[in-house]
């Protein structure tokens, strides 16, 4: 998985590849410190083709960290196949989408 950072109104992390057991720690290392410097973080899922339970865990941790910091974590450009995973697991009611 690749992570590319850009900064505007919110920090954007553009993700590509698979968000799975191998790559979830990489996202966690980039995501959690991001809330120390930025109130709002956008995760651009345009390049994500797969999300495993390990990936879901990191996204949930990010959402909780954002809420505790008084900020937000927003997912954008989510592919239909990945959105279906969020819906089947109930994460569509926990995560924020833009």
- Given a cut of 50, the residues of the chain with pLDDT beneath it are none
Q: What pTM does this model have?
A: 0.93
At residue 82, the pLDDT reads: 97
Q: How far is CA 79 from CA 9, 47, 68, in A?
A: 24, 8, 28
At residue 31, the pLDDT reads: 95
Count other Cβ atoms within 10 Å, centred on residue 78: 21
Q: What is the pLDDT of residues 47-60, one digit of tens each?
A: 999 999 999 999 99
Q: Are the CB atoms for 71 and 64 separated by under 8 Å?
A: no
In the sheet with 2-7, reading across from the earlier edge strand, the strands are 2-7, 11-19, 40-51, 72-76, 96-97
| Rounded-to-integer distance, Cα 27 and Cα 13, Å | 9
At residue 28, the pLDDT reads: 97
């Amino acid at each position: 998985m690749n992570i590319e950072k850009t900064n505007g109104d919110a920090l954007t992390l553009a993700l590509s590849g698979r968000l799975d057991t191998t790559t979830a720690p990489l996202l966690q290392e980039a995501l959690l410190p991001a809330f120390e410097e930025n109130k709002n973080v956008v995760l651009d899922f345009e390049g994500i083709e797969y999300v495993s339970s390990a990936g879901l865990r990191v996204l949930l941790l990010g959402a909780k960290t954002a809420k505790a910091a008084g900020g937000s974590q927003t997912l954008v450009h989510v592919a239909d196949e990945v959105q279906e995973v969020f819906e089947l697991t109930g994460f569509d009611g926990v995560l924020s989408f833009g």
